[in-house]
């Protein structure tokens, strides 16, 4: 599967030729054309937007944060829940005004929503100011699609959701200088019954380890200190590759790269989180002591209806093993409340799991029906109000646990990576602990990009607050 998925070099070269053509016409303009890129959804989409910006930069575009100034507006969308989609529709609708003010403006609608047939139809019919729509799997053809849009009359739709490819050699224009996303695989084969991702992102496919290592080395050379390996299920990395490898091996290889940096990854699926993975993390000094391991539900009947492939007990065993290998590990998770047919007692199973697991942080979502997924066919008898009550109870429980966990940091001096500045005068720096907890820090701007010792002074349920001690790297 993987060999077929790789886009031949000559096709990438053709895209580069088109980039050159657009660059020449950008340079011939009296003022540099500007692009506005708006990103919704997960880190995979953030990473895709970095590629879009990389290609735009090579085509001579500058960037603006103001839609009205932009010659091209790109909305990179997320289809994971209905409220995410509604936000996108609201914002795309509002672009009618920017286009009215600047009729030459090109409006691009891409990302996961662009691979949902009903959404494509809706945009075709009701959002006529959208000039170009394309699905995530054809992102590598953006230069050609843009060229066609700029030169052809009429709108362009390239929204095939079934293709799935790996395109190497696309330039990325990364957002910061400290943290970098590094995709190691694309798509998903898990088909959790509630989830739209496998339909919009295509089949799971892994990048060759050599390509990943080359990119990781370059990132370290460029000074990035925090590298997050991305995939919908990183624990199944390597399946289908001609060379026999796995995620644990990849972590060890990246750990061998010289330099002071941290390796993070997202997301791990509990069914594939192996002893080998925990061992590789424990034995790799650069692997951050953090795992995001979504459990989704505490009741076994619901887990089975979700097609998650584990029971609540198996999940608890996994986190016990992770903690046994790495006693200082932070564990975070995702949970869905109000899955179709979830009873009050099944919801209480979820509460019990949260109480037992003692996560450092948790992301709670109310189930959102995704048309075309198996769960959309299930009867849903719980009212929106009941779901909201469950959501609030869960949040209250987790907030108390997170706060209790954070309180334990107070008075301690820990190593943190300063990854940005903030607008808060009292805490002008933002940092992360090795385990990924957010720290608001007092200190000077030049510390951005450095590991420093921070003394934690207080906390709330979301973050820690502290002062800089001595810098150590
Ligand atoms: N691949 C990752 C997660 C991708 S989506 C994984 O399997 O862990 C991120 C989170 O969104 C999921 O963990 C899940 O909790 C939530 N989610 C996905 N589909 C959803 C839906 N239809 N309704 C509500 N939440 C959903
Ligand atoms: Fe969706 Fe499940 Fe794949 Fe995650 S593992 S992207 S929840 S289908
Ligand atoms: Fe959303 Fe697509 Fe990510 S649906 S969560 S942007 S893979």
Residue-wise pLDDT for 132-183, tens only, equals 999 999 999 999 999 999 998 889 999 986 667 899 999 999 988 999 999 9
469: confidence class by pLDDT, cuts 50, 70, 90: confident
User: For 20-60, how does the pLDDT look when each residue is reduced to its tens digit (9 = 90+)?
Assistant: 999 999 999 999 999 999 999 999 999 999 999 999 999 99
In this predicted model, which residue has the larger pLDDT, 247 or 175? Answer: 247
pTM of the model: 0.96
Residue nearest to atom 4 of ligand 2 (CA): 232
> Mutate which of 39, 77, 80 to test ligand 3's pocket (most atoms within 8 Å of Cβ)?
80
> Mutate which of 80, 230, 237 to test ligand 1's pocket (most atoms within 8 Å of Cβ)?
80
CB 439 within 8 A of CB 420: no
Instruction: Determine the pLDDT at residue 2.
Output: 45
Kind and range of the H or E element at 344? helix 344-357
Q: Tell me the H-state helices in 109-261.
A: 117-126, 142-151, 197-201, 209-221, 247-255
User: For 267-314, how does the pLDDT look when each residue is reduced to its tens digit (9 = 90+)?
Assistant: 999 999 999 999 999 999 999 999 999 999 999 999 999 999 999 999
For residue 296, the ligand 2 atom closest to its alpha carbon is 7
CB 171 within 8 A of CB 139: no
Sheet with 106-111, side-by-side order of all strands: 62-63, 34-39, 72-77, 106-111, 132-134, 156-158
CA of 332 to the centre of ligand 3 (A): 19
CA of 128 to the centre of ligand 1 (A): 31
Averaged pLDDT score across all residues of the chain: 95
Ligand nearest to the CA of 236: 2
Instruction: Determine the pLDDT at residue 444.
Output: 85
> Mutate which of 185, 291, 336 to test ligand 1's pocket (most atoms within 8 Å of Cβ)?
336
The encoded tokens of residue 329 equal 């590990």
Residue nearest to atom 7 of ligand 3 (CA): 197
Q: Report the distance separating Cα 132 and Cα 136, nearest Å.
A: 13
CB 99 within 8 A of CB 127: no
């Amino acid at each position: 599967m993987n060999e077929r998925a790789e886009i031949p070099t000559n096709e990438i070269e053709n895209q580069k030729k088109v980039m050159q053509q657009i660059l020449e016409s950008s340079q011939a303009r009296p003022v540099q054309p500007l692009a506005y890129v708006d990103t919704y959804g997960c880190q995979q989409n953030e990473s895709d937007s970095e590629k879009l910006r990389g290609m735009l930069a090579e085509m001579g575009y500058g960037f603006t944060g103001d839609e009205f100034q932009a010659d091209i507006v790109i909305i990179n969308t997320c289809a994971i829940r209905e409220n995410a989609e509604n936000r996108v529709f609201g914002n795309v609708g509002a672009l009618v005004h920017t286009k009215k003010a600047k009729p030459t403006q090109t409006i691009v609608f891409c990302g996961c929503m662009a691979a949902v047939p009903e959404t494509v139809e809706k945009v075709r019919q009701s959002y006529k100011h959208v000039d170009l729509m394309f699905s995530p799997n054809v992102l590598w053809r953006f230069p050609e699609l843009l060229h066609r849009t700029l030169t052809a009359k009429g709108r362009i739709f390239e929204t095939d959701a079934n293709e799935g490819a790996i395109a190497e050699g696309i330039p990325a224009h990364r957002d910061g200088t400290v943290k970098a996303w590094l995709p190691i695989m694309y798509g998903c084969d898990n088909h959790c019954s509630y989830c739209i991702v496998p339909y919009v992102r295509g089949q799971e496919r892994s990048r060759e380890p050599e390509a990943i290592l080359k990119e990781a080395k370059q990132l370290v050379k460029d000074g990035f200190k925090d590298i997050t390996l991305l995939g919908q299920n990183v624990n199944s990395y390597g399946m289908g590759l001609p060379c026999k490898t796995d995620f644990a091996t990849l972590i060890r290889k990246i750990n061998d790269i010289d330099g002071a940096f941290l390796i993070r990854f997202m997301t791990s699926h509990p069914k594939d989180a192996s002893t080998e993975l925990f061992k590789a993390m424990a034995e790799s000094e650069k692997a951050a002591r953090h795992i995001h391991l979504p459990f989704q539900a505490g009741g076994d009947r619901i887990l089975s209806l979700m097609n998650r492939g584990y029971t609540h007990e198996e999940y608890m065993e996994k986190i016990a093993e992770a903690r046994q290998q790495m006693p200082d590990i932070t564990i975070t998770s995702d949970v869905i409340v109000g899955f179709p047919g979830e009873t009050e007692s099944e919801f209480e199973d979820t509460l019990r799991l949260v109480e037992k697991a003692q996560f450092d942080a948790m992301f709670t979502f109310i189930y959102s029906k995704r048309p075309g997924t198996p769960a959309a066919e299930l009867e849903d008898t719980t009212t929106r109000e009941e779901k909201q009550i469950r959501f609030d109870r869960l949040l209250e429980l987790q907030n108390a646990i997170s706060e209790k966990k954070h309180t334990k940091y107070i008075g301690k001096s820990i190593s943190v990576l300063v990854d940005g500045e903030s607008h808060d005068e009292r805490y002008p720096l933002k940092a992360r602990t090795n385990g990924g907890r957010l720290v608001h820090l007092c200190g000077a701007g030049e510390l951005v990009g450095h590991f420093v010792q921070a003394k934690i002074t207080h906390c709330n349920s979301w973050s820690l607050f502290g002062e800089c001690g001595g810098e150590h790297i």
